[in-house]
Amino acid sequence: MLGELRRPIETALQSACDFGQGCPDHLAAAMRYALLAPGKRLRPILVLMSAEACSLHSTGESIADNTRLLNQVMPGAVAVEMIHAYSLIHDDLPAMDDDDLRRGRPTVHIEFDEATAILAGDALQAEAFQHLCCHVSDPVKLAAAVSILSSAASASHLVGGQADDLKAENDHHPESVRSVDWLESIHRRKTGALFSASLDLGAVLSDATGEQRSALAGYASHLGLAFQVVDDYLDFTADAAVLGKRAGKDAERGKLTYPGLLGAQQAKEKAVSLIGSAKQEALFFGPAAKRLLWLADYVLERTH
């Protein structure tokens, strides 16, 4: 189900890796290493799925065999994956999560060096917007896409969520921040905002109606949070020795997580309930919701 969307995304990401003559080779290599590493590509997939749901719903056209629609929305898919890749590079740095492995490979600061990793993240963030500017020709759609993506990556969303997450860790969780509401606020900004932006990018780049955009916003809001609850659950239940060191590390640091606050069972129930709500929103699209429904189940059932 995801393969036929992932393939054109991988091709587009490869083509987007020409960073211009002034880009030093070692910087380009680090950017490529991060962007082309084998990730799930969930955010770009959401861009394409959103466009497909809107198009199927309005005109009955699917996306995998519709090159025009694919070309129309792919710049949004590439741009959001660039922002995601930048955020992962920076998240892995010694000053943040200090991780050695990402996507089954050494992290960028381990494979290259710390300064190069910081700069590769910085550059990928700028390249995301440059990519939109070079590939979205309609000025109204371009302005909307830049606004959606910059807002999701901003101090009040991705960066702010990360800052509060790190602060909660460093403050060793005073009672004031040990609440599910606070954790939800962090994750809606840190993880959910980019999920929402992905679905909205697909909508605006494919001429969605206002009603379609708001149904997608509802779906995104539940799906993004569910993704994070499942992520916490997987980390919590992972055998640290087999699946990597994060589970052990999170517990050791006293990191704020859903299973940590609610217990594993209730965290799982929360994910199930959020996915139910996401699917309910997707039903607005009728039969055109097929892939959105499938992806909601995938987020709940994923094992990595």
Q: What amino acid occupies position 133?
A: C
Q: Is 91 in the site for ligand GRG (CB under 6 A)?
A: yes
Angle, helices 67-92/3-15, rounded to nearest 10 degrees: 70
Please select the residue that binds ligand GRG; options are 72, 221, 228, 257, rule is CB under 6 A.
Answer: 228
Contacts of 292 (CB under 8 A, 6+ apart): 49, 50, 53, 219, 279, 282, 285
Smallest separation (angstroms) from ligand GRG to the CB of 42: 5
Instruction: Compute how many other C-beta atoms are within 10 angstroms of the C-beta atom of residue 276.
Output: 13
Q: How far is the CB of 18 from ligand GRG (least distance, A)?
A: 22
36-75 binders of ligand GRG (CB under 6 A)? 39-40, 42
Distance CA 235, CA 248 (A): 9
Site for ligand GRG in 127-186 (CB under 6 A): 158-159, 162
Residue type, 234: L
Is 103 an interacting residue with respect to ligand GRG (CB under 6 A)? yes
Distance of CA 58 to the CA centre of its chain: 26
Q: Does 191 bind ligand GRG (CB under 6 A)?
A: yes
Site stretch for ligand GRG (CB under 6 A), options 46-54, 80-88, 237-245, 289-297: 80-88
The token pair at 28 is 């380009």
CB of 77 to ligand GRG, least distance (A): 13
| Residues forming the site for ligand GRG (CB under 6 A) | 39-40, 42, 84, 87-88, 90-91, 103, 158-159, 162, 190-191, 228, 231
